[in-house]
Amino acid sequence: MRTNRGAIWVSVIALFLGFAAVTQVHSQDVFSRSLNLETPSSLTTLIANLSETNNELRNEIFDVRRDVADAQDSVSSGKGTLTEAERQVAQLRVFSAQSAVAGPGIAVRIEGQFDERALSDLVNELRNAGAEAIAVNDMRVGPKSFFTGTADHSIAVDGRPLRGPWMVRAIGSPDVVYVAMTRTGGIIGQFELIYRTTRFAVTKETALDLPAQLVASR
């Protein structure tokens, strides 16, 4: 009788241990991010993003390979590499917000309550959609730009307060950036639910003119 009772207790404890072991493995699964946990729809989006990045890399490799060939030709013909270097300087000045730029894109007009974190998220979303140059009102956003709140509930970019209504302009493919902002479940849709009294107007623009960043680089 005693033996049986002991065995029952051991079994109960063992059952519990078995349960605990599996639950432990399971709860670690919940917190360890791996692709295994993604839905097919998320995986498809990830794959589209990876493909896009890889295509951009392939284009850039093609361009730089041409630059290398051009530079070699220039050197061997005794011309020096000034032309290639000038082209690179122009590209890097645009890339790092040090020159004023023109081009097509979109504009987002924000009228009403808004804050610095939402503006930072909007800029992140625009960059993610491939925006090449971004300005808030008349301030160009640069590589080290930061967004803060001001005492009077306004927004400051790089420490300079900007009053609403805010106009966020971004140069890039108008169609791609427009769709990325306004798609169902996109950032503008989310903003409209969170800032219910604020008006958001997104428009495609054929010609935008953005200034260079004020403080070139700190």
Partner 1 sequence: MTASPAPQKRRLSHSLVLLVPAVLFGLLVTLQWRTQAERSELSVRYNAPLIDAANALQNEQNDLKTQLAELRRRLDEIQRNASSQSGAARELQTRLDQLKASAGLTPESGDGVIVQLDDARNVSVSARDVDKSICHATDLTDIINTAWKGGAQAIAVNDERVVNSSSVYCVGSTIMVNGTLMSPPFNIAAIGPQNSMLGAFDDPNQLQDIKQRRDVQGLGFRVSRASAVHVPAYSGALNVRFAEPH
Kindly indicate which of the ranges 26-34, 161-169, 181-189, 191-199 contains the residues binding partner 1, using the contact rule CB under 8 A.
26-34
Site map for partner 1, 142-181, x if CB under 8 A? xxxxxxx----------------------xxx--------
Query: At its nearest, how many Å lie between partner 1 and the CB of residue 1?
Result: 11
Among 60, 138, 175, 192, binds partner 1 (CB under 8 A): 60
Stretch that binds partner 1, among 34-42, 161-169, 182-190, 195-203 (CB under 8 A): 34-42
Q: Which one, 202 or 212, has the nearer CB to partner 1?
A: 212
Q: Provide the 10 A C-beta neighbour count for residue 108.
A: 23
Which position has the token pair 């060939």? Answer: 69
Shorter beta-carbon distance to partner 1: residue 53 or 203:
53
Shortest Å distance, C-beta 111 to partner 1: 24
> Residues 111, 115, 130, 182: which binds partner 1 (CB under 8 A)?
130
Q: Which of residues 76-95 bind partner 1 (CB under 8 A)?
A: 80-82, 84-86, 88-95
